[in-house]
Amino acid sequence: KQEVTQIPAALSVPEGENLVLNCSFTDSAIYNLQWFRQDPGKGLTSLLLIQSSQREQTSGRLNASLDKSSGRSTLYIAASQPGDSATYLCATGANNLFFGTGTRLTVIP
Amino acid sequence: NAGVMQNPRHLVRRRGQEARLRCSPMKGHSHVYWYRQLPEEGLKFMVYLQKENIIDESGMPKERFSAEFPKEGPSILRIQQVVRGDSAAYFCASSQGSQSYEQYFGPGTRLTVT
């Protein structure tokens, strides 16, 4: 059974700082890996999807990388803004996604 | 193109009542997934459906829970005889295809059992 872990559980940074969120998974035979953002009391917003054949994906200030051999993915956020404050989740699976417990990010103005 | 829609957004039920949660997938999506997020826990997969078929229900509790995705209309997650432990946020997602396709999530239904 796939297990997904996210470290750190919480992160607080000053505005403008670059930061990295980590995600690790136990089963490297994955189809893809998705990063999501969840605001308090809200649903999930898909940020990036990396197919298993890809190494990274970029969208604006976000860059996600995937290393299947080591069972790791990272989400890099450049020039963080207070609006980036949210919980960031990674998930992987075929049809049934396995989620990490998330990293709660606070960007301090 | 409207996103995944779920209703109601909030639902309050007394113990023993039935809860019906509805999910309309994105236009053009025929694959629907239900997930549950218990308080202070991560999201857990419950069931995967295509039109008129349950493909994977490995995450569904064995009793009181059922799901359907009829040929016409939304997908329904039904919880019979609710208990306090069913209080959670229930999220629906949809995709165009299976396995490597991106899943898009709805805003969720927050069920409170009193």
Segment B27-48 shows an average pLDDT of 93
Yes or no, beta carbons of A49 and B102 under 8 Å apart:
yes
| Min Cα–Cα distance to chain B from A108, Å | 24
Can you tell me whether residue B86 is helix, strand or coil? helix
Q: Which residues of A touch B110 (CB under 8 A)?
A: 41
pLDDT single digits (tens) B95-112: 998 877 889 999 999 999
For a pLDDT cut of 90, what percent of chain B falls above it? 83
For residue B69, which of B60, B81, B77 has the smallest C-alpha distance?
Answer: B77
Check residue B41 and report its DSSP letter. Answer: S
Per-residue confidence band for A30, with pLDDT thresholds at 50, 70 and 90: confident
C-beta atoms of B56 and A52 within 8 A? no
Q: Looking at the complex, report in whole angstroms how far the Cα of residue A89 sits from the nearest Cα belonging to chain B.
A: 9
Residues in A touching B55 (Cβ below 8 Å): 95
Look at residue A106 and tell me whether its pLDDT is greater than 70: yes
A31 in B contact zone (CB under 8 Å): yes
Residue B97 has a pLDDT of: 84
* Spatial separation of the C-alpha atoms in residues A104 and A93, rounded to whole Å: 22
If you write DSSP's letter for every residue of A54-104 in order, what string do you get? -SEEEETTEEEEEETTTTEEEEEE-S--GGG-EEEEEEE-SSSPEEP--EE
Copy the structure tokens of residue B7.
């209703």
Q: What is the pLDDT of residue B1?
A: 55
Q: Each residue of A83-97: pLDDT tens digit?
A: 999 999 999 988 889
pLDDT band at A42 (very low <50, low <70, confident <90, very high): confident
